Amino acid sequence: MNKDKSKNHVYIKARKLELIVSLSAMVIGICALGTTIFQTRILNQQKNATVWPRLSMYHGYIPNDFFELKLTNYGVGPGILKSYIIIYDGKTYDQIDDVVFEISKKKKFENAWIVDYKEAEKETVISPQVEIPVLSIKNEFSNVIYDEFINNLFISLEFESIYGERWKITYPKNTYEKID
């Protein structure tokens, strides 16, 4: 009987040892899974950072001579224009040249010389380190445009990276925010 007790005691110790080894392997596996998930998140963030667009709208202005509104991508990846809103004096416009014509009518300025403008189109790709002149005006009308744009115009652009991350910028305040 003593032999049976001894065998039973050895058996119980072996089972406890197996249980400890099994639980240890499970803890190590869970830790390895957690580490892998964490590393994957870091790699995903690095991947996204390699194609991060950074769009900005700003203007150049020389009184009585020149006004230019530009869209620039300072980022390292292309920005894809998804949507935009142009609001002047509380009214929404489709294109920036429509706003210029509205200002020229309002101010009774007949010689608005638009040197160049680009129509905004959805899905337009703005390459990294590229500057696009959205609107260029050359003459004394530039003073009127500058004053009206700074005081009465609001532009909001939404764009995304090639991985689908989205941002929004505004003009003339030049805000920049990520959209979740």
The residue with greater pLDDT, 15 or 75, is 75
pLDDT of residue 113: 61
Q: Based on the structure, what is the number of domains in the chain?
A: 2
pTM, 2 dp: 0.74
* Of the listed ranges 53-62, 105-114, 128-137, 152-161, the one predicted with least confidence: 105-114
Same domain, 135 and 97: yes
Q: Is residue 152 over pLDDT 70?
A: yes
Chain segment 59-74, per-residue pLDDT in tens: 999 888 888 889 999 9
Q: Is residue 47 over pLDDT 60?
A: yes
- Beta-carbon count within 10 A of 87 CB: 14
Same domain, 71 and 30: no
With a pLDDT cut of 70, the percent of the chain lying above it is 89
Structural domain for 10, as ranges: 1-49
Instruction: Kindly report whether the peptide bond that precedes residue 53 is cis, defined as omega within 30 degrees of 0.
Output: no
Same domain, 28 and 89: no
Chain segment 71-103, per-residue pLDDT in tens: 999 999 999 999 999 999 999 998 888 888 888
pLDDT of residue 116: 63
Same domain, 60 and 97: yes
Same domain, 130 and 94: yes
Same domain, 87 and 13: no
Chain segment 117-148, per-residue pLDDT in tens: 666 678 889 999 999 888 888 887 888 888 88
- R_g (Cα) of the chain, nearest Å: 31
CA–CA distance, 106 with 88 (Å, rounded to integer): 12
pLDDT of residue 114: 65
What six digits make up the tokens of 43? 């790699």
Same domain, 29 and 113: no
